[in-house]
Amino acid sequence: MLHDIIFLVLGLALIVVGGNAVTDGAVTVARKFNVSNLVIGLTVVAFGSSAPDLVVCLTSTLEGKSQMALGDVIGANTFDILLCVGVVALVRPISLTTDMVNKDLPMLVLSALVIFFCGDDILFDGARADIISRTDGLMMLGFFAIFMAYTLQNAKTARLARMVAGKPQASQTPVAPAVSAPQMWKAAAYIVAGLAALIVGGNWIVDGASGIAIKAGLSESLVGLTIVAIGSSLPDIATSIAAAVKNHPGIAIGNIVGASIFNIFFILGFCSTVKPLNSGNITLVDFSTLAGGAIVLWLFGCVIGRGKISRIEGAVLALGYVAYMTYLVLNA
């Protein structure tokens, strides 16, 4: 048990350092290539901070522990959408760009609904078991390819438009003084070292927390939804809070949304293509909490807040996650 606790503490320290390093490096890269912080958050940072989930899910899938794999993604996305966004909004209210309102948040809602429809076969098909098949996985990989192509094309189009206009758009990162080669090397080193710290720290947290949970006699699905999901998602909240404190809301919200879409469309898509996933004890409550959280976030950011998530709305999201965790513990 002491060994697991040490891994947990060291992992927490690594993700804090890694979150700061990735944020600093990503901002420099965005300045160099005149790319918005939102696009950096949706791609580079999201990929890096979701790496622990990919490792956990693929390993669990290959070992025949599909409930752990699926529970990790469902739990991690619920953590990101409710608690991460809620805490970031409490730290600093989140202003959303036009692209986030019109494109990225709707894609987040779509990803949550897709895993709901694909994962709960008992509800929607009257089947005897909930199975995410290879066909479901290939469909999700297709959605992921469309999302990435669309995001990168939008970044290219926006950059060309700013070059023609000779000035930045309001929703993008302002044009900054030229970034020198030494600064770029330093930024690259920060990103690589930061992502490495996030990955190693995330794995240490998962190993330590899983060891503690298993020795406490918890079920595989509950471990996946709670301890493993929270542990593997701590890089997301560390990176996003660091970005929010440094007044880079594009990276803060882009990281969360990008990681959530990446988790479902790529990680679950890839893992279920390798081997179909049995949902097991992942229930209607878990799927509907994720889908409901994504819809509420969209309503707060796009309808009620009209492009801004306030501290009150952040508190509502965070309390929603606390309520969900309370339900899981009481019904374990």
Listing DSSP states for 111-150 in one string gives HHHHHHHHH-HHHHH--SS-EE-HHHHHHHHHHHHHHHHH
**Structure tokens belonging to residue 162:** 């700013």
Tell me the average pLDDT across 82-109.
Answer: 88
Q: Residue 220's pLDDT is what? A: 67
* pLDDT tens, position by position, 121-147: 888 888 888 889 999 999 999 999 998
Tell me the average pLDDT across 35-57.
Answer: 66
* pLDDT tens, position by position, 308-323: 898 999 999 999 999 9
Tell me the average pLDDT across 65-87.
Answer: 88
Q: Residue 315's pLDDT is what? A: 95
* pLDDT tens, position by position, 80-92: 999 999 998 998 8
Percentage of the chain exceeding pLDDT 90: 24
Q: Residue 78's pLDDT is what? A: 95
Please say whether the beta carbons of 290 and 112 come within 8 A: yes
Which pTM value belongs to this model? 0.77
Higher pLDDT residue, 208 or 114?
Answer: 114
Q: Residue 106's pLDDT is what? A: 92
Tell me the average pLDDT across 60-65.
Answer: 79
Q: Which of 127-131, 155-159, 215-219, 251-255 has the lowest mean pLDDT?
A: 155-159
* pLDDT tens, position by position, 160-196: 665 666 554 444 444 445 567 677 888 888 888 887 8
Tokens 């958050």 -> residue: 41
Tell me the average pLDDT across 16-23.
Answer: 73
Q: Residue 47's pLDDT is what? A: 67
Q: Residue 158's pLDDT is what? A: 63
Q: How far is CA 25 from CA 28, 89, 133, 142, 309, in A?
A: 5, 23, 39, 30, 26
User: How far, in Å, CA of 269 to CA of 61, rounded?
Assistant: 12
Q: Residue 290's pLDDT is what? A: 95
Q: Classify residue 199 as exposed, middle or buried by CB count within 10 Å of its CB (0-12, 13-18, 19+).
A: buried
Confidence of residue 18 (pLDDT cuts 50, 70, 90): confident
**Structure tokens belonging to residue 143:** 């959605």
Confidence of residue 37 (pLDDT cuts 50, 70, 90): low
Q: Mean pLDDT in the chain?
A: 80
Confidence of residue 44 (pLDDT cuts 50, 70, 90): low
Higher pLDDT residue, 240 or 48?
Answer: 240
CATH numbers and ranges of domains, the chain: 38-170+219-330 (1.20.1420.30)
Report the 10 Å Cβ neighbour count for 196: 16
Residue type, 217: G
Q: Is the pLDDT of residue 112 over 90?
A: yes
Q: Residue 77's pLDDT is what? A: 93
User: How far, in Å, CA of 243 to CA of 250, rounded?
Assistant: 8
* pLDDT tens, position by position, 186-235: 888 888 888 788 778 767 776 776 677 777 777 767 877 887 788 777 77
